[in-house]
Amino acid sequence: MEILDAIRDRHCVRAYLPKPVDAEIITEILDTARWAPSGVNIQPWQVAVVQGESKQRLGDALIAARKRGDEPNPDYPYYPECWQTPYSVRRQKCGLALYSALGIGRKDKEKRLAAWYRNYRFFDAPVGLLFFLDDSLQTGSWLDMGMFMQNIMLAARHFDLDTCPQASLAEYPDIVRDILDIPAEKRVICGMALGYADPDAAVNQYRLPREASSRFTRWYE
């Protein structure tokens, strides 16, 4: 797939086929993604690949924490404390489109909760990725991580694979570190589902719009 097509084609997939992904393909995706730029070439990204039993155990533990009512304690705040326009409007439209695609109404709390739990299962994708940074690193390394992750998502399209980056998988970082035996000084950044999209799933049919470049660009001469 051409790079411009891959960028435009990439979208978040939330339903996957029960088809395994060859380890050789996962390795090639990561080997390609490692060419992302990083400040003074420190290459700060660290990745855990979870499949099978390890993915099941992780999902079970995260769902159990949510059901117990444990308060999420992520290693960093992903979203703002106070939402302002236009971000609040885009957020609302995103949620409406997702739950409309799932056929879940605003008042159907049980179905909404069940849909949320699927986050912790990587939406049943055969492969889950977890991303980590050393806690000694600063904001610039988060930019590096973002570029590395984008490389993964674009490289996946070359193999007809789809992805979904997931901040939800960083809600309980201590559980992630415990189950995967990750040192305490590693910050849990997020997760990512990886697999073959289910083309018939309604949740995979909707798309979210993007602002025209003219709305966020200023030209100077």
pLDDT band at residue 55 using 50, 70 and 90 as cut-offs:
very high
**Nearest partner of 168 among 99, 105, 97, 74, judged by Cα:** 74
Domains in the chain: ranges and CATH: 3-77+119-206 (3.40.109.10)
- What pLDDT score was predicted for residue 119? 97
Residue 92 pLDDT: 95
Q: CA 206 → CA 7, 95, 98, 151, 211, distances in Å? A: 17, 12, 8, 23, 17
The overall average pLDDT reported for the chain is: 97
Mean pLDDT of 146-153: 98
The pLDDT tens digits of the residues spanning 63-113 come to 999 999 999 999 999 999 999 999 999 999 999 999 999 999 988 989 999
3-state secondary structure of 190: strand
Q: Which amino acid is at 2?
A: E
Peptide linkage before 86 cis (omega within 30 of 0):
yes
Residue 203 has what pLDDT? 95
* Residue labelled with tokens 């411009």: 4
